[in-house]
């Protein structure tokens, strides 16, 4: 069996658009003053191989629709996985029933009609992979083989998985806006277990892309998973101390996600952000520029319009260390008395300007300190910025890795960590929509023995 569209993509898009039109008409017929709806349909294949044998073959096929109706400034929402005509009518009715109980909220309305995307640029997001199950299994097996062959200390495996998905998403609202587009996403990941004496360690690696040709080679993904696993063997605790901390690029991306959360409209109007009232204030050193590119061709988070139908655009979130914009949708913008920034549904393809130094240069710049390669748990307080998380990584002296470290925590406050950012490396070496190198933070508290 292969994953190919059974009907033309354009026809399927047209059918989903028809659903949207039916939903909006039904809402109007029931007396709604405005409405918005989205419909999605996706299909995919996921295979996993463990210890050289097939473990799972999953065929995925998901449908869903959601509608929000407005009666003046009262709103109600409903959703379903059933796209039959009867279900569409029932879902609209359910949303109207909800709206009868909600209260007047002056900000409960669609985004301004003038902001709707006028054109839907082709962002090159659709590259179906006509992949057979046997071929998928072979790629995953190659990936895992490379990991297991990498080092004699790789003694076990959680396996390798290959996935390919194609989806169609359509959004429309009663301004007359309707837009939809197809997209694909393919990925390969591998996790293996190493052993040294009594202790086991696990690590993983992955690749992800809109187009199969852009995926990293399977064997390379496996070798990287094994390399990371072996490097952790022999890890130990260190004493409690204060020290500089270098966040490896992929964990530094988590710090950017904390920034995004803190400057998102929902956190701000709920007063649940440590960056409340920081618009146009300096929050980073002056070399920092953080940029969003929603229209990036083949970008993993690209979208021509946001969840309100508003056209998206590129912008600096931070430049010269100053917070230039919040991330707002129509609702949170209204609550904060600011215009939407086209960020309904989140931020899309974030990047920080990278510095001159590679990994070795960043380690040398830190000198003696902790190189964090993994973080655990949810110890980030969004309201205060207080930060305390489980960590694993390497102890570094004079710019050289000494030994792997585990069962420690690192703690500080995000506001101080952002202000105390010393440098950003050019060692961006992980897949995904967020692009950053490693981050060197001046000082944090490390708790251990």
Partner 1 sequence: MNDPITIARDSILAPAGLTEHDLDRLLGLLAGSALDAADIYFQNSRLQSWVLEDGIIKDGNFSIEQGVGIRAISGEKTGFAYSDEITFPALAQAAEAARAIAGAGQHAQVRIANQAAVHRLYEPINPLVSLPDADQVALLKRVDAEARRMDSRVTKVSASVVAVQDIVMVLADDGTLAADVRPLVRLNVSVIAEANGRREQGGSGGGARADLGWLLLEDRALGFAREAVRLALTNLEAEPAPAGTMTVVLGAGWPGILLHEAIGHGLEGDFNRKETSAFAGRVGERVAAPGVTVVDDGTLAGRRGSLNMDDEGTPSQNTVLIEDGILRGYMQDKLNARLMGVRSTGNGRRESYAHLPMPRMTNTYMLAGTRDPQEIIASVDKGLYAVNFGGGQVDITSGKFVFSTSEAYLIEGGKIGRPVKGATLIGNGPDVLTRVSMIGNDLALDAGVGTCGKEGQSVPVGVGQPTMRIDSLTVGGTTA
Judged by CB under 8 A, does residue 408 bind partner 1?
A: yes
Sole window of 80-88, 210-218, 255-263, 311-319 interacting with partner 1 (rule: CB under 8 A):
80-88
Judged by CB under 8 A, does residue 377 bind partner 1?
A: yes
Sole window of 27-35, 123-131, 298-306, 381-389 interacting with partner 1 (rule: CB under 8 A):
381-389
Task: Give the residue with the Cβ less far from partner 1, 118 or 241.
Answer: 241
Judged by CB under 8 A, does residue 409 bind partner 1?
A: yes
* Alpha carbons 372 and 191: distance in angstroms, whole number: 19
Judged by CB under 8 A, does residue 307 bind partner 1?
A: no
CA-based radius of gyration for the chain:
24
* Alpha carbons 251 and 138: distance in angstroms, whole number: 31
Strands 439-447 vs 400-413: parallel, antiparallel or unpaired: antiparallel
Q: Rounded to the nearest 5 degrees, what angle is found at the Cα of 264, between the Cα atoms of 262 and 266?
A: 105
Judged by CB under 8 A, does residue 33 bind partner 1?
A: no
Residue with tokens 């869903």: 64
From 390, 399, 432, 442, residue interacting with partner 1 (rule: CB under 8 A): 390
* Alpha carbons 313 and 303: distance in angstroms, whole number: 10
Do the beta carbons of residue 241 and residue 409 sit within 8 Å?
A: no
* Alpha carbons 107 and 150: distance in angstroms, whole number: 57
Task: Give the residue with the Cβ less far from partner 1, 13 or 54.
Answer: 54
* Alpha carbons 339 and 327: distance in angstroms, whole number: 10
From 19, 23, 70, 75, residue interacting with partner 1 (rule: CB under 8 A): 75
Write down the least CB distance from residue 164 to partner 1, Å.
15
Judged by CB under 8 A, does residue 27 bind partner 1?
A: no
* Alpha carbons 242 and 227: distance in angstroms, whole number: 29
* Alpha carbons 11 and 15: distance in angstroms, whole number: 6
Q: Looking only at residues 224 through 283 of this chain, which bind partner 1 when binding is defined by CB under 8 A?
A: 232, 235, 237, 240-242, 270-272, 276
Residue with tokens 């393919």: 186
Q: Looking only at residues 206 through 225 of this chain, which bind partner 1 when binding is defined by CB under 8 A?
A: none
Residue with tokens 């949708």: 329
From 7, 8, 103, 280, residue interacting with partner 1 (rule: CB under 8 A): 103
Q: Looking only at residues 119 through 178 of this chain, which bind partner 1 when binding is defined by CB under 8 A?
A: 133, 156, 158
Write down the least CB distance from residue 59 to partner 1, Å.
4
Judged by CB under 8 A, does residue 368 bind partner 1?
A: no
Judged by CB under 8 A, does residue 351 bind partner 1?
A: no
Sole window of 86-94, 173-181, 244-252, 429-437 interacting with partner 1 (rule: CB under 8 A):
86-94
Write down the least CB distance from residue 4 to partner 1, Å.
14
* Alpha carbons 284 and 415: distance in angstroms, whole number: 9
Judged by CB under 8 A, does residue 2 bind partner 1?
A: no
What binding mask, one character per residue, do residues 38-67 give for partner 1 by CB under 8 A, x or -? ------------x--xxxxxxxxxxx--x-
Nearest residue to 199 (alpha-carbon basis) of 160, 245, 153 = 153
From 388, 399, 422, 426, residue interacting with partner 1 (rule: CB under 8 A): 388
Q: Which residues are CB-contacts of 88 (< 8 A; sequence separation ≥ 6)?
A: 19, 22, 23, 26, 65
Task: Give the residue with the Cβ less far from partner 1, 94 or 211.
Answer: 94
Strand partners, 435: 351
Write down the least CB distance from residue 23 to partner 1, Å.
14
Query: Taking the CB of residue 405, how many other CB atoms lie within 10 A of it?
Result: 23
């Amino acid at each position: 069996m292969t994953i190919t569209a059974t009907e033309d993509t354009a026809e399927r898009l047209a059918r989903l658009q028809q659903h949207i039109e039916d939903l909006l008409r039904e809402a109007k017929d029931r007396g709604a003053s405005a409405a918005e709806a989205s419909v999605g349909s996706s299909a995919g294949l996921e295979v996993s191989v463990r210890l050289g044998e097939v473990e799972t073959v999953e065929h995925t096929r998901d449908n869903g629709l959601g509608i929000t109706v407005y009666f003046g400034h009262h709103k109600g929402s409903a959703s379903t996985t059933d796209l039959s005509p009867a279900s569409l009518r029932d879902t609209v009715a359910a949303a109207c029933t909800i709206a009868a109980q909600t209260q007047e909220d002056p900000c409960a309305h669609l985004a301004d009609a003038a902001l709707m995307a006028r054109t839907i640029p082709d962002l090159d997001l659709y590259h179906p992979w006509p992949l057979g199950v046997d071929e998928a299994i072979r790629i995953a097996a190659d990936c895992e083989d490379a990991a297991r062959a990498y080092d004699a200390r790789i003694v076990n495996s959680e396996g390798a998985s290959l996935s390919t998905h194609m989806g169609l998403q359509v959004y429309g609202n009663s301004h007359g806006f309707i837009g939809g587009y197809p997209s694909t996403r393919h990925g390969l990941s591998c996790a293996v277990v190493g052993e040294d004496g009594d202790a086991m360690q696990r690590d993983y690696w992955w690749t992800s892309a809109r187009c199969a040709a852009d995926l990293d080679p399977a064997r390379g993904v496996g070798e990287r998973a094994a390399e990371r696993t072996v490097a952790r063997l022999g890890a130990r605790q260190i004493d409690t101390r204060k020290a500089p901390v270098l966040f490896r690029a992929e964990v530094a991306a988590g710090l950017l996600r904390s920034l995004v959360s803190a400057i998102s409209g929902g956190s701000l109007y709920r007063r649940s952000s440590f960056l409340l009232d920081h618009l146009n204030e300096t929050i980073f050193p002056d070399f920092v520029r953080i940029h969003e590119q929603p229209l990036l061709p083949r970008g993993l988070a690209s979208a021509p319009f946001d969840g309100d139908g508003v056209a998206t655009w590129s912008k600096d979130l931070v430049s010269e260390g100053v917070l230039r914009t919040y991330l707002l949708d129509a609702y949170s913008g209204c609550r904060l008395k600011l215009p939407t920034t086209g960020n309904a549904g989140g931020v899309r393809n974030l990047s920080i300007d990278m510095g001159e130094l590679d990994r070795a240069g960043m380690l040398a710049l830190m000198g003696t300190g902790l190189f964090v390669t993994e973080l655990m748990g949810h110890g980030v307080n969004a309201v205060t910025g207080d930060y305390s998380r489980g960590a694993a990584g390497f102890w570094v002296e004079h710019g050289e890795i000494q030994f792997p470290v585990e069962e420690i925590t690192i703690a500080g406050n995000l506001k101080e960590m952002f202000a105390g950012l010393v440098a950003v490396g050019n060692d961006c070496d992980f897949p995904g929509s967020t692009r950053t190198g490693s981050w060197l933070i001046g000082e944090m508290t490390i708790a251990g023995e």
